[in-house]
Structure 1
């Protein structure tokens, strides 16, 4: 059955929320509701008549005999923990299906978050545990990845930042996680024992309230016999904490308090309360869970350690993205700004941390499916014969582009300088001229001038012939996945580092081309052909007319071949004759006259070397495959 939707399931230690994204759409994911609310307290209750209840219902429904809250943790073998997690997820799944907010079964793919500090085996174990809830398709991914994806697709990250370094600080209820995202790769940053969760703050409020309660002993006895009463009181402390950090300015007055309320019975009440003074005491008191360090000190230490790790790698994050429900605590922004104070670093708290992870998980799921399909489409193109056929079709045009400028440059840099040396009597015989010109031609063929000519012509060939045909294959793929056509195009030519600085595939293609052309020209005897052209049509017979009698007297039969050979080897024309015999204008004219013949020779030799061109086609094809594969890795970031 086709996957129609991805479900982002943010099962948090404190709260749970769910979002849905349609796979074939790029519309933003939608938050789903349980008990008519988009966010629910992570609570599971048992009612003898109503069965399992989640969220607020588990808290307010009269007659609930069992209640569990804040039960998210690393997977372990505790049977109660495993049953609670599995039952909670199964109940959520049932409610979502029953309300027809999701398709369910094979049509829905669930993506569930976990702290980025969890190891791969822990993620896998957690995934197995959640699958026991009866969800057919489910995947566990780091919450930091969801936060990054939500920031990316909600338009909060510019493209340059997406490709640079982003530090995600996820302050959750049970842990604080640091994750570096560099070139789309996630790297969790470990800072030791990670128990730095915001639930420690509400726990401290609970203990402080209990310690000061007039009926402390009685409450302790009630909590021991009826744990669900303690759970409700702890939730009252959480709400007090959230109220305080949502309205800090209201509680600067020593007489003004953020308060919670829980009734144990008609006579016993549990009323946590905090203001600025008491919250500062709580945040700075030693906590056993943090090795007797305070919450503030531990948070600062964790940030410093993360900063030190990045400094060792030589990384200055372009963005520090703060997420997680507890990132609403303003003092965490202030400390983060103090430590990551580089002018290049931008600090950005998520505006909706309570929904960020659920929305991001739904986006991650959709992105995973669409990115996989996108890569498959491109791989089908790469695995087909189309690239080879496309290149092969345009080889004759490459030959035509090369012959004229190569012939002109060869005449300018090898033929004319050689003739001028002969004109100035710096070369004795035409045989010496042949040797000199061959040496010049070989130096020219292996020099920068030829490489530049071939580079320029290959660029023109690629841009005007290969790129349009390649775009005709890749543009439909880009349209299908709703990304810019430029994502798989090489419109900046093949000369610059058009993929990235580490992969100068254009230069590699051109270097192979230059080496190939040089080998063809030298190996194919082009230089010898030039000499023959010059001697045959332009020097031999004029010299023979002047020196013909002496040649005959030497006993040689006056035929074309022998005359050429004798003149080449033996005739040393006096220097005073040469400048009039071979003027500068005559040298220029000679260059123009042999140019068509030289182009023909070059063309014939290039065409004749089919085996070498087959190798060139293969190399260009391989280069394009690598370049396209790299372009794909860059393009998938644009998929929604």
Structure 2
């Protein structure tokens, strides 16, 4: 069955959110709802009559006898953990299907996030565990990749930033991860502190509230016997924390408090409360989970460590993207601004961190599928005979474009100066003239001026013949995947920063073509044919007609070829006769007369060298394939 939609499933330690993207559309993904909310507390409850409940319903439904919260962690073999994760995901999946928000089955592909600090083996184990929930198609990807994709496609990262280096700081409930995305690479370089999560702050508030509670001993017994009451109280602590960091200015007064509330029974209440002074104490108290470092100290150390690792790679990130629900805590922004200072690095917290990962996961899934299909279409083009046929079809036009400038260049740089030297008696015999013209021709052909001429003609041929036909087969691919046509063209792009100047025609392609032409003219007999044409038709035989009697040897009549060879190698015509026989005007006339013949010989010689042109076609085809493959790697970042 066809995959119609990608589902971004952000199973967080504190909250869970789900988004959906349509594969064949570039419209932004849509958030899905459970219990009429787009974000849910990560909670799983058991009700004797209603069965398993998730999110808010598990918290508020009367009669829930079992409740588990904040259960996301690195995969392990604990059967309770495995059962909780699978049941939670299966319940979510069932509710999304029942409310007809997803297609389900083979039509839906789930992308679930994990901390980017997890190893590949952790991801594989987590993916294997989640598949046990009964979801047919599921993939686990780093949450940092989702954050990057969401920022990219939501327009929060300019193209220049996308091509440079972006540091993603994902502050979650259970972990804080640092991920570098460089030069459009979709494979982050990961490092991070996997114990530094914002839930440690919730726990510290819980322990502080419990210690100060007038019935703390009784509460400890209740929590031990009824763990779901402790889970609710921990959530109350989390709500107090979130309220504080959402309205910090309100709670700077020592008499003002952000509060949570949980009723154990009609006589016992659990009311966590915090203000600025209390939060500062909590953030600076040593925590066993962090090796007796405080939360603030550990965060500052982790950000500094990330910067040091980047400096070791000689990287200064152009952009720091902060995401994760805990990135709303203002002090984290201040720490990051202090360590990564502007203007070298710009700091930008995600405006909706609680939805960023779910939306990004849905985008990652759609991008993966569309990018794979895009590369497959281009590969099919490269594997077909279309490129070869396209080049082969335009070879006669390349030959035609080269004939006139090559003929003009050879006349002006080899023929005319050679004959002029012979006229002025600087060259003794016509055989010497032949050697001189050949040397001059070869020197000119490998010189800068000749290379410029051939370069110009080859580039013009590529741009006006190859490129339009190539665009005719690549443009439909770009239209299908809704990216600029210039993405697979060798010309300026709508986004100039995405153009590699080396790929306008391709230095390798150009070098192969120019080298081929020179080799054919010099080494393929073309040059010898040209010089023979000039000497035989315009010098040797006319001289033989004038000096025929003087080249008879011992009364023996010479045949035409023998006369020509004898005159060419032996006859040293006096200088005063040379200037009369071949005046400057006659040299000009001769060059004009030779030009059509020269062009004809060049055309015939180049066209006749089919074997060499087959090699050229192969080289140009390989060059185009390589250049297109490089363009594809740059173009896929534009796919949505």
TM-score category by the smaller chain?
over 0.9
Alignment of 1:233 with 2:225, yes or no, is: no
Tell me which moved more, 87-96 or 630-639.
630-639
Moved more, 333-342 or 381-390: 333-342
Between the aligned partners of 1:159 and 1:192, the Cα distance in structure 2 is 26
Alignment match, 1:635: 635
5+ long unaligned stretches in structure 1: none
- What is the rounded CA distance, in whole Å, between the counterparts of 1:547 and 1:19 in structure 2? 97
Equivalent position of 2:561 in the other structure:
561
Q: Indicate how the Cα distance of structure 1 residues 161 and 401 shifts in structure 2: closer, same or farther if over 3 A, else same.
A: same
Question: Which piece of structure 1 moves more, 44-53 or 450-459?
Answer: 450-459
Q: Look up the match of 1:272.
A: 272
Matched residues in 2 for 1:337 and 1:588: separation?
A: 77
Alpha carbons of structure 1 residues 594 and 510: separation in structure 2 relative to 1, 3 Å: same
SS at match of 1:376: helix
State whether residues 176 and 192 of structure 2, in contact with CA within 8 Å, keep that contact through their aligned partners in structure 1.
no
**1:360-416: CA deviations, max 9, x gaps?**
111111111111111121122111111111111111111111111111112222222
Instruction: Tell me how many residue pairs correspond in the alignment.
Output: 638
Give the superposition deviation at 1:2.
Answer: 1.2
Alignment correspondent of 1:588: 588
Tell me the residue number matched to 2:570. Answer: 570
SS in 1 for 2:506: helix
Counterpart in the other structure of 1:85: 85
Change (3 A) 1:216 1:458: same
Given that 1:170 and 1:177 are in contact with CA atoms closer than 8 Å, whether structure 2 keeps it comes out as yes
Closer, same or farther: CA 579–335 of 1 in aligned 2, 3 Å: farther
2:31 pairs with 1:12: no
Distance, in Å, in 2 between the alignment partners of 1:573 and 1:291 is 103
Q: Check conservation: 1:117, 1:188, Cα contact below 8 A.
A: no
CA apart distance, 1:452 = 2.1
Q: Is the 8 A contact 1:429 1:571 kept in 2?
A: yes
Measured on the aligned residues, the alpha-carbon RMSD in Å equals 2.0
1:497/1:424 CA distance change after superposition, 3 Å: farther
CA distance in 2 between partners of 1:244 and 1:47 (Å): 33
In the TM superposition, structure 1's runs of 4+ consecutive aligned residues that sit over 4 Å from their partners are 186-193, 496-499, 501-505, 553-556
Residue of structure 2 equivalent to 1:612: 612
Relative distance call for 1:540 and 1:624 in structure 2 (3 A) is same
The normalised TM-score by structure 2 is 0.96
Q: How does 1:321-400 map to 2 (within 5 A)?
A: 321-400=321-400
CA deviation vs aligned residue, 1:557-609 (integer Å, no higher than 9, x gap): 36543332222112223334444443333333322221211111111111111
CA deviations over 1:12-42 (Å, ceiling 9, x no partner): 0000000111111111111011011000000
Looking at structure 2, the residues matched to 437 and 227 of structure 1 have their Cα atoms a distance apart, in angstroms, of 100
After TM superposition, the score normalised by the length of structure 1 is: 0.96
Following superposition, the deviation at residue 491 of structure 1 comes to: 2.5
1:476-495 residue pairs with structure 2 within 5 A?
A: 476-492=476-492
Residues 238-283 of structure 1: per-residue CA shift (max 9 Å, x gap)? 1111111111111111111111111111121111111111111111
2:244 corresponds in structure 1 to 244
Match of 1:67 in 2: 67
Deviations 1:464-519 (A, max 9, x none): 111111111111111111111111111359xx999637878711112112222222
Q: Does 1:185 align with 2:185?
A: yes
Query: Compared with structure 1, are the counterparts of its residues 460 and 288 closer, same or farther at alpha carbon in structure 2 (3 Å cutoff)?
Result: same
Deviates more, 1:497-506 or 1:369-378: 497-506
Does the C-alpha gap of structure 1 residues 556 and 464 become closer, same or farther in structure 2, counting only changes over 3 Å? farther
8 Å contact from structure 1 (residues 169, 322) kept in 2: yes
Bigger mean CA deviation after superposition, 87-96 or 534-543: 534-543
